[in-house]
Structure 1
Amino acid sequence: MKQLRKFEPFIALPHLIKWLPISFIVGILAGTASAALLASLEWATDWRESHRWIIAFLPIGGFLSGWMYHQFGRTVEAGNNLLLEEIHNQKNIIPFRMAPLVLIGTNLTHLFGGSAGREGTALQMTASLADQLTKIFRFQGGNRRILLTAGISGGFASVFGTPLAGTVFGLEVLAIGKIHYDALFPSLIAAIVGNQVTLLFGLHHTAYQHAPSIPTLTIWGLISAIIAGAIFGIVARLFAQVTHKISHFFKAKISYPPMRPLMGGAIIAIIVGLSGTTKYIGLGIPTIVESFHTQLPPWDFAAKLGMTALTLGTGFKGGEVTPLFYIGATLGNALSLLLALPAPLLAGMGFVGVFAGAANTPLASTLMGIELFGLESGVFIAIGCIVSYLFSGHSGIYTSQRIGLSKYSSVYLEEGLTLGTYGRAKVEPKIDLASDSEERESNFQD
């Protein structure tokens, strides 16, 4: 062991030399894929808003997307959950066709007026492209896990312009309470390169307003931040559960997959027609930006939650994260009426806080908040994200996410359970504060 310690710097060097060029390639793939996605979504959104009559044809768009996946994409239909499954339980190389299918499917969603995001598309495109390198380098086991993790980091960083958050997100999203740091350097390089490549294509990310003044952290300010974080976590849990329940309902009632988004599209189109507004469909970025400037209707977050859960639950393609930003920012805006914190700060806290609870990624979400809203708001951002993570429980938007370690020291959960399995099995964790304390003391003594 002592001899090994002496040579560890010489072990680190080959690790860097090996993964630097590979991660650089992954970053190029990520940046290129995200640039194509961002450019196409911008066109789709602008065209829809200029020709709103197309929303009436959302059922047809849903059917086309569902039929396309039913004919050509059954093996990749699981999306982000397929990526997580392949990392944890490696079986087959992710098919290349996942990239074009999810790009087309997401654009159909936004063009016709569904409510969805873009991060899921970026992750799937990048990971499926990166996994083709497995054939070239003959990667297996840990090496392939690192490659896919770097792909997730590169995709996340390049689509949102947050390289630090993207780095940690790829590591943190795999399992609750457990991080594999052997993928840290490849994920960092892929995230940095991916973001820079997207910028080189001339694509620019949305600039959000920093809070004009960050209040001194008082006792009441701390309590307000904790209360806000708890509400963010409960809403994140609600979003995940409603989306999954809608999905299960439509799968149980409609056997032919393309009919599910057709029916969902019809419901959404009717709602948009009756409401007379398109603020609850698409990415919703204008409303997110507005939440930092003016007081919005307090029900905006609930309306976006329902529309997104219906869109994704019925089988439309797209991500969850940007709608979660919308839900969180507008929820924070509404909470400013009740809590002793300014609206722009609460909007920023909610922006990343709801996402932290829904994706179970408090560290990545905190870094994202700092990258987007400035270091001065970091303490409040961290409180919102961590408390949200705790209050969302062992639920989340990614059903293939593993439980590595329970969120609570007094609750034992079996390691390796997926969130989907945990939810279906209705596992009742054993809570024994005394035995938990004794076990920890015994481990410490050992």
Structure 2
Amino acid sequence: MSTTTQAPQAGSTRQGVEPPARFDWMQVVRHTLFACLCGVVCGFASIVLCLFVWAARHLFERAPWLIWLLPVMGVVQLLMYRWWKLPLNLTTDAIIEKMRAGDHLSALLAPGILFSTGMTILAGGSVGKEAGALQIGASLGTTIAKPFRLHNILRCENHDDAYEINRYIASTGMAAAFSALFFAPLGSCMLVLELMRFTQLQYVTSMLIACFIAFLISNHFGIGDVINAVPVPAASWRIIGVCIVIGIAAAMAGSVFAIAIRLLQALTMRIRHNYFVWVIVSGLLFAVLVTVFGWWRFTGSGGEMLNDVLNMPDLSADFAIKMLLTVLCLGMWFKGGEIMPAFCIGGLLGSACFAMTGTDPLFGAALGSICFLAAFNRCPMSAVLLGCEIFGWSMFPFLAVGVAIAFLFGYPVGMYGASIDVLARSGWHRFFSNIRASVASNEVHDDAGFIDFVMAAGSALQHVAGSAMIAAQSEAIREQRRRHRHQDKDEHSAEHKIR
């Protein structure tokens, strides 16, 4: 049962009324300094990650026999995580769930995922470093914020904002590291906002400051994921049809990719809850498949393959091979990222769609990589922004159509759970109805204006974010209930077999 507290009238002496929020200028300064420092540190951390992974990849290319050490690398990763008291199943998905819950992240997560990603790529594993950059940024943001003693800029007495601040500092670091890696500050900021279900809107200024500083640092040194641009065709109904076809294909493939990884992880834990066994099995199986079938070019993150297909058309079904090897690595608990492999798979798929569309396969590869990402992680707005920052803003109309189709036709739960889908289910009509109600109320008193509309929109967004959190919690509760029902059924079937 909830109660609403109304503001007292003039001269009222009612007790128990909460004091209004106080604007803290000192916190504004602290937040700004934190954002600047976070951008600098995460920018250089992204450069270190790139150099470390590039060195590991070049070493593997000179010594391909290292692929037989992949099971050993997996065991070493798990031992390192156990030594540093990090959960052995700590994936990017798990980190994002911790951030949504406002949990504190370990400072050892950054070196842990750095070394683990390098070890997997050193042995030829089909993983990327981009999701690793997300984890590194979240860990560094949490660590950097400690001396700043950050609180909400609008301070309320007796209000604990620890969980909110934990989400904010991790989100800022995550966005900054990703921005430095892809040279895409706008798309990176939007990606984290979507992953956090827009609960961090009030901190978007700090996040953008950190993103642009990290971007400037990586851009100055020229170290990051450089993806080749492609020629953009003139707009026509035929090209729009191509965008729709590639969007549908990316929706199907991206959904299968995300479901396959999550399903394989759940299946391995259902069969035997031992991560060491599964990295050994998958490492050996991966090495055998690559050696027997000669799939050497499918090892690694796939960044080189993506640039190759953006320069030279690839009309084969190679995207299925890359998807299989990536699912095998990530689904069986090797450490690493899934974003660059997703770009690579989408690029190969978009190029292969040339057989159906008959258009420029290079344009199809660029469009397919972004559409596949949107279907895979369920973050459409960031996918469009990333695509524009990578391939040029002239791609915007085609990306908007393709990504919209991929998002609409894709499975509603992606690799990182439901992101903007939860916000949509929580009811955008609340947002617009709150704005209309507030403006209509002020029009009665003849004092509605632009500033009033902006304030009403901000208040409505807070209501939407709150309802999104409630929807996310309800979704988690439903998922737990489904798991309990499955466990009960398994127990009953086991008892029946014993009898």
Q: Give TM-score scaled by structure 1 length.
A: 0.85
Per-residue CA distance 1:91-143 (angstroms, 9 max, x = gap): 4x211111111111101110001101111211111111111244323342433
Call closer, same or farther: CA 1:328–1:58 in 2, change over 3 Å. same
SS at match of 2:273: coil
Match of 2:472 in 1: 416
- Matching of residue 182 in structure 1 with residue 202 in structure 2: yes
SS at match of 1:44: helix
Is 1:157–1:192's contact at 8 Å kept on the other side of the alignment? yes
Quote how far apart the aligned CAs of 1:32 are: 1.6
Match of 2:119 in 1: 108
SS at match of 1:405: helix
The equivalences for 1:65-104 within 5 A come to: 65-75=77-87, 77-91=89-103, 93-104=104-115
Per-residue CA distance 1:340-370 (angstroms, 9 max, x = gap): 5321111111111111111111111101111
Quote how far apart the aligned CAs of 1:426 are: 6.3
- Matching of residue 263 in structure 1 with residue 281 in structure 2: yes
Quote how far apart the aligned CAs of 1:322 are: 0.1
Whole-Å separation in 1 of the counterparts to 2:351 and 2:477: 35
Match of 1:149 in 2: 171
The equivalences for 1:9-20 within 5 A come to: 17-20=29-32
Whole-Å separation in 1 of the counterparts to 2:474 and 2:201: 21
Whole-Å separation in 2 of the counterparts to 1:48 and 1:326: 19
Per-residue CA distance 1:67-91 (angstroms, 9 max, x = gap): 2223434347423234323332224
**Could you tell me which amino acid in structure 2 is paired with residue 190 of structure 1?**
A
Match of 2:211 in 1: 191
Whole-Å separation in 2 of the counterparts to 1:314 and 1:238: 16
Quote how far apart the aligned CAs of 1:423 are: 6.1
Whole-Å separation in 2 of the counterparts to 1:287 and 1:399: 28
Whole-Å separation in 1 of the counterparts to 2:298 and 2:233: 30
Whole-Å separation in 2 of the counterparts to 1:407 and 1:48: 48
Per-residue CA distance 1:8-32 (angstroms, 9 max, x = gap): xx96987764432111111112112
Match of 2:305 in 1: 287
Per-residue CA distance 1:30-63 (angstroms, 9 max, x = gap): 1121111100000000110111111122111122
Is 2:88–2:275's contact at 8 Å kept on the other side of the alignment? no
Is 2:182–2:224's contact at 8 Å kept on the other side of the alignment? no
Per-residue CA distance 1:232-285 (angstroms, 9 max, x = gap): 111111001111111122222233222211111101000000111312110112
Whole-Å separation in 1 of the counterparts to 2:100 and 2:428: 24
Quote how far apart the aligned CAs of 1:187 are: 1.4
- Matching of residue 350 in structure 1 with residue 361 in structure 2: no
Is 1:119–1:155's contact at 8 Å kept on the other side of the alignment? no
Match of 2:354 in 1: 336
Match of 2:495 in 1: none
Is 1:31–1:155's contact at 8 Å kept on the other side of the alignment? yes
Match of 2:128 in 1: 117
SS at match of 2:415: coil
Call closer, same or farther: CA 1:424–1:401 in 2, change over 3 Å. farther
- Matching of residue 138 in structure 1 with residue 160 in structure 2: no
- Matching of residue 233 in structure 1 with residue 264 in structure 2: no
Is 2:250–2:372's contact at 8 Å kept on the other side of the alignment? yes
Match of 1:126 in 2: 137
Call closer, same or farther: CA 1:173–1:75 in 2, change over 3 Å. same
The unaligned stretches of length 5 or more in structure 1 are 2-9, 428-446
SS at match of 1:415: helix
Call closer, same or farther: CA 1:419–1:304 in 2, change over 3 Å. farther
**Could you tell me which amino acid in structure 2 is paired with residue 171 of structure 1?**
L
Quote how far apart the aligned CAs of 1:227 are: 2.2
Quote how far apart the aligned CAs of 1:170 are: 1.4
Per-residue CA distance 1:168-216 (angstroms, 9 max, x = gap): 11111122xx4642121111111111122234455243141222x4132
Q: 55, 58, 65: which is aligned to 1:53?
A: 65
**Could you tell me which amino acid in structure 1 is paired with residue 110 of structure 2?**
A
Match of 2:187 in 1: 165
Aligned length: 413
Per-residue CA distance 1:271-310 (angstroms, 9 max, x = gap): 0001113121101122111212223142111111111011
Is 2:412–2:418's contact at 8 Å kept on the other side of the alignment? no
Whole-Å separation in 1 of the counterparts to 2:427 and 2:397: 22
Is 1:66–1:259's contact at 8 Å kept on the other side of the alignment? no
Quote how far apart the aligned CAs of 1:424 are: 6.8
- Matching of residue 373 in structure 1 with residue 429 in structure 2: no
The equivalences for 1:236-247 within 5 A come to: 236-247=254-265
Give identity over the alignment, percent: 23
SS at match of 2:325: helix
Match of 1:404 in 2: 423
Match of 2:489 in 1: none
C-alpha root-mean-square deviation of aligned residues, in Å? 2.8
Whole-Å separation in 2 of the counterparts to 1:409 and 1:191: 28
Quick check: 416-425 or 42-51, which moved more? 416-425
